Amino acid sequence: MPKISLTSIANILSIGVNSLLIILKLVIGFLFNSISLIADGFDSVMDVVSASIAGVGERISRKPPDRDHPFGHQKFQLISSLVIVLTMFISSYFIAQESINRLIEATSYDLEIWILVAASVSLVTKLSISIALMKIGKKLKSTVYIANAKNYRTDAISSIFVIIAYIGGRFDVWWLDPACAFVIVALILFTGFEIAKMSLPELLDKGPSLEIVEELKSTALACPEIKEVHVIRLRSILGSYTGDFHILVDPELSILEAHEISERVKAKLESTGHFRDLLIHIEPYIPEESLEG
């Protein structure tokens, strides 16, 4: 029996479970006129769209480099994350619009126990999916699945506000339903900005932290033949760093010896799991021209 991959498990969780939750929440929400539950339901619709996008983005990003994409396809995953953000913002707009109408018209809803049941099932399910996707995302170093995990965490919190709205309705506080829908919108927007903040710097090739640069330099300089390391240019891809840097070695070394040194350093750096596909330029070390001197 073939082993099910982590990406398949993530997609089954995201699409399969959410499809059932959509039916549960939207049917009960429309049946009993609960805008907070409808908001939660439409958020689940966006989750299915997001999960589909995430699955496609993840599949494309794992493809090896080809003629048209010599540096690989990893950035498709980051673009997928931003599309997820866009779907979250679109759903927020429509939910907020309906909530405003409910407040203006003082629309109440039917207090049925099924609203509480749907919200409770959603809370437990979304929290479980969030924890599972976060573990999968960290294991795969996947920006998309981590983004989706954060999205589901927000959904779980949203379900709490549906429960609050239901309790408020029991005490004739009718406006809690649209008010809680507004809170859900705010949570969705906050999570969207958080995902965008995580994805955009990587998409724009932001450089690494000082700690990563120092790790590279110290690892390279641990090789006694390397006199200096400079012109370090790195960018983050799927949780690791790729790019190029220069090493300065004794000019008396042969080309073969210098190449073997660079390959040894490259292998050592990439074995840490923090670096991948590094390109090392070899230069002769001349003390008078040293950048450090």
pLDDT at 222 over 70: yes
Percent of the residues in the chain that have a pLDDT greater than 90, as a whole number: 6
Question: pLDDT tens digit string along 29-74?
Answer: 888 777 777 777 777 776 777 666 666 666 776 677 777 776 666 6
Whether residue 238 is found in the same domain as residue 121? no
Say how many domains are in the chain: 2
Dist CA 173 CA 175 (whole Å): 6
Radius of gyration of the chain (CA): 26
Dist CA 126 CA 149 (whole Å): 9
Q: How far is CA 148 from CA 59, 242, 261, 270, in A?
A: 15, 25, 42, 28
In the predicted model, what is the mean pLDDT of the chain?
78
Whether residue 135 is found in the same domain as residue 240? no
CATH number of the structural domain spanning residue 215: 3.30.70.1350
Last residue of a domain, one of 145, 178, 203: 203
Whether residue 190 is found in the same domain as residue 235? no
Whether residue 179 is found in the same domain as residue 239? no
**Mean pLDDT within 228-251:** 86
**Mean pLDDT within 98-114:** 69
Give the residue numbers spanning the domain of 10.
Answer: 6-203
Q: How far is CA 79 from CA 84, 104, 182, 202, in A?
A: 9, 38, 28, 10
Q: What is the pLDDT of residue 1?
A: 43
Q: What is the pLDDT of residue 256?
A: 92
User: What is the pLDDT confidence band of residue 259, given thresholds at 50, 70 and 90?
Assistant: very high
User: What is the pLDDT confidence band of residue 175, given thresholds at 50, 70 and 90?
Assistant: confident
CATH number of the structural domain spanning residue 49: 1.20.1510.10
Check: CB of residue 223 under 8 Å from CB of residue 264: yes
**Mean pLDDT within 207-230:** 88
Check: CB of residue 118 under 8 Å from CB of residue 28: yes
| The residue to which tokens 């070695």 are assigned | 249
User: What is the pLDDT confidence band of residue 110, given thresholds at 50, 70 and 90?
Assistant: low
Whether residue 85 is found in the same domain as residue 140? yes
| The residue to which tokens 């976060």 are assigned | 134
- Asked, for residue 1, whether it belongs to a domain, the answer is no
Q: Which of 139-143, 160-164, 166-170 shows the lowest mean pLDDT across its residues?
A: 139-143
Whether residue 191 is found in the same domain as residue 228? no
